[in-house]
Amino acid sequence: MASPPSSKKVCPDETITIMVTGGSGLVGQAIRTVVAEEAQPNEHWVFLSSKDGDLSDITETRKLFEKHRPTHVVHLAAMVGGLFKNIKYKLDFLRKNLQINDSVLQCCYEYKVKKCVSCLSTCIFPDKTTYPIDETMVHNGPPHSSNFGYAHAKRLIDIQNRAYHEQHGCMFTSVIPTNIYGPHDNFNLEDSHVIPGLIHKCYIAKQNESPLTVYGSGSPLRQFIYSKDLAKLFVWVLRHYEEIDPIILSVGEEDEISIKDVALMITEAMEFKQEVKFDTSKSDGQHKKTASNAKLRSYLPDFQFTDPKQGIREAVEWFCSNYDTARK
């Protein structure tokens, strides 16, 4: 099969089809909202969900590419879960994500996609490292043992991007967001990340007039990015970022907050009046993984991030209003 043409920036007059894998999830729904608000007449967006096909199967993936013929791809689809699911199912996270990523990137090559932007995670960074971490440090040592399956699968996207570029000239790149939260998240009590999990637990505790129990000491520090902020940055990357090397999409180092502070923001937004307990028999996971957003700021020095109190309040309000249909 012939090599695809070299990537070029999106031309204002060129009609393009952007296919979003994982389009029904947290980030996909936020991107859908952003592009609806900032619609460009030359862009046709297609949002796929797991119901459209199994992306771990190369044959099914080819059928989707054949049907939609994307010129650009935003690759969000992944097997994901919170800390305890990652600890329990390391092999499943590794194999399933390797299969998904390989199918999507190979089809991007085969169907001559001009640009593919994949989503990584800060969990890919080395466990033993100096802070802040930046884009040059992805492969400088093993990731934290709690989620090495998922982390290594995500790291390999960066390796594949470089290999496709060097061998075939493909414009495949990736972004590394910090901890994402917002409407349309997965609020499952076992499988979710920290903010949606705590929102759901707080909701139940409020209904039962019982204490809220937070797993761990509450001391770990995280950088949280509101899903709509990330969506705006994702669209900017698709339209304007022209490096193969990944870029961290995150609030600044100074905006890092503790899990305890997050829990208190949630209880305030939920108007929760009962006791908040911290179960120190449960694992804290990695204490911190502070990321530098200096590279992002070199491109977008004036980008304004949503204040976490406001973002958490909006996420809480969305969950309470959509409790019956929210993923949980």
The more confident residue out of 102 and 88 is: 102
The distance between the two most distant Cα atoms of the chain, rounded to a whole number of Å, is 64
Assigned domain for 38 exists: yes
Please write the tens of the pLDDT for every residue from 166-215: 999 999 999 999 999 999 999 998 778 899 999 999 999 999 999 999 99
Asked if residue 196 lies in contact with residue 204, where contact means CB atoms within 8 angstroms, the answer is: no
**Residue 7 confidence (pLDDT) above 70:** no
Number of structural domains in the chain: 1
pLDDT band at 2 (very low <50, low <70, confident <90, very high): very low
Nearest to 73 by CA among 18, 4, 119: 18
Assigned domain for 169 exists: yes
Assigned domain for 108 exists: yes
Assigned domain for 232 exists: yes
Tell me the residue range of the domain where 139 lies: 16-181+223-253
**Residue 56 confidence (pLDDT) above 90:** yes
pLDDT band at 3 (very low <50, low <70, confident <90, very high): very low
Region 20-26: mean pLDDT is 95
Identify the pLDDT of residue 11.
52
The more confident residue out of 32 and 39 is: 32
**Across all residues in the chain, what is the average pLDDT?**
92
Identify the pLDDT of residue 284.
82
Please write the tens of the pLDDT for every residue from 246-274: 999 999 999 999 999 999 999 999 999 99
Please write the tens of the pLDDT for every residue from 106-138: 999 999 999 999 999 988 999 889 999 999 999
**Residue 10 confidence (pLDDT) above 80:** no
Assigned domain for 111 exists: yes
Assigned domain for 166 exists: yes
Region 300-324: mean pLDDT is 97
Reading the block at residue 205, the tokens are 């505790």
Asked if residue 27 lies in contact with residue 230, where contact means CB atoms within 8 angstroms, the answer is: yes
Identify the pLDDT of residue 4.
37
Dump strand ranges (E) for the chain: 16-21, 43-47, 72-75, 115-119, 172-177, 179-181, 212-215, 221-222, 224-226, 247-249, 257-258, 276-279
Identify the pLDDT of residue 189.
87
The more confident residue out of 145 and 315 is: 315
Q: In this structure, what CATH number is given to the domain that contains residue 146?
A: 3.40.50.720
Assigned domain for 290 exists: no
**Residues known to be catalytic:** 150
**Residue 244 confidence (pLDDT) above 60:** yes
Identify the pLDDT of residue 144.
87
Assigned domain for 68 exists: yes
The secondary structure of 146-180 as a DSSP string is GGHHHHHHHHHHHHHHHHHHHHH---EEEEEE-EE
